[in-house]
Chains A and B, each alone.
Chain A
Amino acid sequence: MSNGLLEREKSEPRPEPKGIEPQVGAGKRFAYKLKIALREPTTIVGILAAILFTYLIIVPIITMLSDAMMVQYGDERRADQNFGELTLYYLHRVFASPLSVDVFWRPLGNTLSIAIGAIFFALIIGGTMAWLLSRTNLWGRKWFATALIVPYMLPAWTFALAWTNLFKNRKVGGQAGWLEALGFEPPDWLSYGQIPITIVLALHYAPFVILLFGNALRRFDSQLEDSARVLGARRFLVTWRVVLPLMKPSLVSATILVFAKCLGEFGVAYVLGMPVQYEVLATSLYRNISSRQTGVAAVLAGAIILIGVISLLIDARLVKEGKKFVTVGSKGSMNRLSQLGKWRLPATIGAGLVFFVSVVLPLGTLFLSTIMRFPGVFEASNFTLDFWIGQNLDTVALRQGILFTPEFWAAAWNTLWIVGLAAVTSGILGLLVGYVVVRTPVKFVGSFLRQVTFFPYLVPGIAFAVAYLSLFAVQRGPVPALYGTAAILVLAFIAEQMPYASRAGISAMMQLGKDPEEAAQVAGAGWWKRMTRVVIPIQKGSLTTGVLLPFISGVKGLSLVVILAVPGTNVLTTYSLQLVDYGYDQAANAAVLMVAAIAFFGTLLGQKLTKSNLAEGLGG
Chain B
Amino acid sequence: MPNINLSNIQKNYGGGSPNAVENLNLEIGDGEFMCLLGPSGCGKTTTLRMISGLEHPTGGKITIGDRVVDSVSDGIFVPPEKRELGLVFQSYALWPHLSIENNVDFGLRLRKIPRAERESRTTEVMEKMGIEKYRKRYPSELSGGQQQRVALARMLAVNPGVLLLDEPLSNLDARLRLEMRAELKRIHEEFNTTIVFVTHDQWEAMTLATKIGVMSDGELQQLGTPDEIYGAPANRFVAEFVGSPPINIIQLADDEAGGLSLWAMQFLTRRYAKIDSLGSLGIRPETVHVAAHEIDVPDDSFKARSRVTGVLPTGGSWIIELEVAGRKIFSVTSELPSVHAGDEVYFWVRPGDLHLFDIDGNRAPQADLVLTEVGLVK
Measured CB to CB, the closest approach of chain A to B36, in angstroms, equals 13
In the bound complex, do residue B23 and residue A518 qualify as a contact, i.e. CB atoms below 8 Å apart?
no
Give 7 A-B contacts (CB < 8 Å), ordered by A residue.
A15-B8, A31-B75, A32-B56, A515-B89, A522-B81, A524-B82, A538-B96
Cα A59 to Cα B56 in complex, Å, equals 37
Q: Is B195 an interface residue (CB 8 A)?
A: no
Identify the closest chain A residue to B151 (Cβ).
A519
- Interface membership of chain A positions 3-37, coded 1 if the CB is closer than 8 angstroms to chain B and 0 otherwise: 10111110000110000000001001101100110
Cα A3 to Cα B97 with chains together (Å):
51
A573 to B316, CA, bound (A): 79
Q: Please determine whether A2 and B86 come into contact, CB atoms closer than 8 angstroms.
A: no
Q: Is B127 an interface residue (CB 8 A)?
A: no
Contact B222–A14 (Cβ < 8 Å): no
* Bound-complex Cα distance A515 to B106 (A): 15
Cβ–Cβ contact B158 & A524, under 8 A: yes
Interface residue total, chain A, C-beta cutoff 8 A: 36
In angstroms, how far is the closest chain B Cβ from the Cβ of A191? Answer: 56
The stretch among B274-282, B319-327, B361-369 that forms the contact with chain A is B361-369
Please name all residues of chain A whose beta carbon is closer than 8 Å to the beta carbon of B365 when the two chains form the complex.
Answer: 2
Contacts of B91 in A (CB 8 A): 513, 515
Whether B75 pairs with A526 at a CB distance below 8 angstroms is: no
A36 CA / B111 CA spacing, docked (Å): 24
Which residues of A (505-545) have their CB < 8 Å from a CB of B? 513, 515-516, 518-526, 529, 533-534, 537-538, 540
A92 within 8 A of B: no
A residues at B contact (CB < 8 Å): 1-3, 5-9, 14-15, 25, 28-29, 31-32, 35-36, 39, 513, 515-516, 518-526, 529, 533-534, 537-538, 540
Whether the Cβ atoms of A522 and B54 lie closer than 8 Å is: yes
Across the interface, A1 reaches (CB within 8 A) one of B56, B106, B224, namely: B224
Distance in Å: Cβ of A309 to nearest Cβ of chain B: 29
Q: Which residues of A contact B17 (CB under 8 A)?
A: none
Q: Which of chain B's residues have a CB closer than 8 A to the CB of A29?
A: 72-73, 75
Provide the residues of chain B in CB contact with A5, threshold 8 Å. Answer: 222-224, 228, 232, 234
Which residues of the partner chain A approach B363 to less than 8 Å between Cβ atoms? 2-3
Name the residue on B nearest A512 (C-beta): B96
Q: Helix, strand, loop or mixed for chain B's interface?
A: mixed
Contact between chains at B155 and A523 (CB < 8 Å): yes
Contact B234 A3 (CB under 8 A): yes
A491–B258 Cα distance when bound, in Å, is 78
Bound form: Cα–Cα A123–B205 in Å: 59
Count of chain B residues near A, Cβ 8 A: 54
Q: Report the bound CA distance from A15 to B10 in whole Å.
A: 14
User: Considering only CB atoms, which chain A residue lies closest to B59 in the complex?
Assistant: A29
Given that A2-B234, A2-B366, A3-B362 are contacting pairs, would A32 and B77 also be in contact in the complex, using a CB cutoff of 8 Å? yes
Q: Is the CB of A522 within 8 A of B75?
A: no
Q: Identify the closest chain A residue to B6 (Cβ).
A: A7
* Extra A-B contacts (7), CB below 8 Å, given A32-B71, A524-B84: A5-B232, A7-B223, A32-B76, A522-B54, A522-B80, A524-B110, A537-B97
Q: Quick check: is B107 within 8 A (CB to CB) of the other chain?
A: yes
- Determine if A36 and B77 form an interchain contact, defined as CB atoms under 8 angstroms apart: yes
Q: How far is the CB of A167 from chain B (nearest CB, A)?
A: 54
* Closest residue on chain B to residue A40 by CB atoms: B79
Write the nearest CB–CB distance from B24 to chain A, whole angstroms: 8
B209, CB-defined interface residue at 8 Å:
no
> For B224, what are the chain A residues with a Cβ–Cβ distance below 8 Å?
1, 5
Find chain A residues with CB under 8 A from B77 CB: 32, 35-36, 39
Q: Are B220 and A8 in contact (CB under 8 A)?
A: yes
Q: How far is the CB of A526 from chain B (nearest CB, A)?
A: 6
Residues 42-78 of B contacting A (Cβ, < 8 Å)? 52-54, 56, 71-77
Pairwise interchain contact B73-A520, C-beta atoms closer than 8 A: no
Cα of A7 to Cα of B8 in the assembled complex, Å: 11
Instruction: Flag if A2 contacts B220 (CB, 8 Å).
Output: no
Flag B88-112 by CB within 8 Å of A: 1 or 0 each. Answer: 0101111111000000001100110
- Closest partner residue, chain A, to B93 (CB atom): A515
What is the bound-complex CA distance between A513 and B25, given in angstroms?
Answer: 31
Please, which residue of chain A has its CB at the minimum distance from the CB of B84?
A: A524
A516 contact from B26, B93, B220, Cβ within 8 A? B93
Q: B85 on the interface (CB 8 Å rule)?
A: yes
Say what secondary structure dominates the interface of chain A.
helix
Report yes or no: B232 in contact with A516, Cβ–Cβ below 8 A: no
Tell me the B residues contacting A by CB distance below 8 Å. Answer: 8, 23, 25-26, 52-54, 56, 71-77, 79-87, 89, 91-97, 106-107, 110-111, 151, 154-155, 158, 219-224, 228, 232, 234-235, 362-363, 365-366
Closest 7 CB pairs of A and B: A515-B93, A31-B75, A523-B107, A519-B93, A522-B87, A28-B75, A537-B97
Of B25, B154, B219, the residue contacting A519 (CB under 8 A) is B154
**How far does the Cβ of B210 sit from chain A's closest Cβ, in whole Å?**
15
* B54, B95, B96 pick with most chain A CB within 10 angstroms: B95
Do residues B95 and A518 form an inter-chain contact, with CB atoms below 8 A? no
User: How far is A461 from B250 in the complex, measured between Cα atoms in Å?
Assistant: 72
Chain B residues within 8 Å of A6, by CB: 220-223, 234-235, 362
| Most chain A CB atoms below 10 A, which of B23, B81, B85, B221 | B81
Chain A contacts for B228, CB-based, 8 A:
1, 5
The residue in chain B whose Cβ has the minimal distance to the Cβ of A533 is B106
Which residues of chain A are near B235, meaning CB under 8 Å?
Answer: 6
Question: In the complex, what distance in Å separates the CA atom of A529 from the CA atom of B82?
Answer: 14
| Bound CA–CA A2/B365 (angstroms) | 7
Which A residues lie within 8 Å of B220 (CB)? 6-8
Closest CB of chain B to A411's CB: distance in Å?
Answer: 39
Establish whether residues B158 and A518, one from each chain, have CB atoms under 8 Å apart when the complex forms: no
Given A5-B224, A36-B56, also A519-B89 (CB < 8 A):
yes
A519-B234 CB under 8 A given contacts A36-B56, A39-B77 = no
Partner of A28, one of B74, B81, B96, B221: B74
- Residues of chain B within 8 A (CB-CB) of A15 are 8
**Could you tell me the distance between the alpha carbons of A25 and B56 in the complex, rounded to whole angstroms?**
17
Contact B107 A32 (CB under 8 A): no
A536 to chain B, nearest CB (A): 10
Nearest B residue to A21 by beta-carbon distance? B73
Whether the pair B8, A534 counts as a contact (CB closer than 8 A) is no
* Chain A residues, CB < 8 A from B74: 28, 32
A68–B183 alpha-carbon span in the complex (Å): 73
Contacts of A526 in B (CB 8 A): 81
A515 to B219, CA, bound (A): 26
Q: Give Cα A518 to B86, complex, Å.
A: 11
Chain A residues whose C-beta falls within 8 Å of the C-beta of B95 in the assembled complex: 516, 519-520, 534, 538
Contact across chains for A39 and B79 when beta carbons are under 8 A apart: yes
Please, which residues of chain A bring their CB within 8 A of the CB of B93? 513, 515-516, 518-519
Complex-state Cα separation, A7 to B224, whole angstroms: 10
CB distance from A1 to the nearest CB of B (A): 5
In the complex, the chain A residue whose C-beta lies closest to that of B8 is A14
Nearest chain B CB to A534's CB is how many angstroms away? Answer: 6
Closest to A34 in B: B75
- Tell me, rounded to whole Å, the shortest Cβ–Cβ distance linking A17 to chain B: 13
A28 to B72, alpha carbons, bound, how many Å? Answer: 7
* A516 B94 Cβ-Cβ under 8 A: yes
Chain B residues within 8 Å of A524, by CB = 81-82, 84, 107, 110-111, 158
Cα-based distance from A447 to B85 in the complex (angstroms): 32
Contact B25 A7 (CB under 8 A): yes
Please indicate the chain A residues that have their CB under 8 angstroms from the CB of B232 in the complex: 1-2, 5
Contacts of B223 in A (CB 8 A): 5-7
Least CB distance from A30 to B in Å reads 8
Cβ–Cβ < 8 Å partners of A513 in chain B? 91, 93
Known: A3-B362, A6-B234, A515-B89. A523 touches B97 (CB 8 A): no
A523 CA / B73 CA spacing, docked (Å): 27
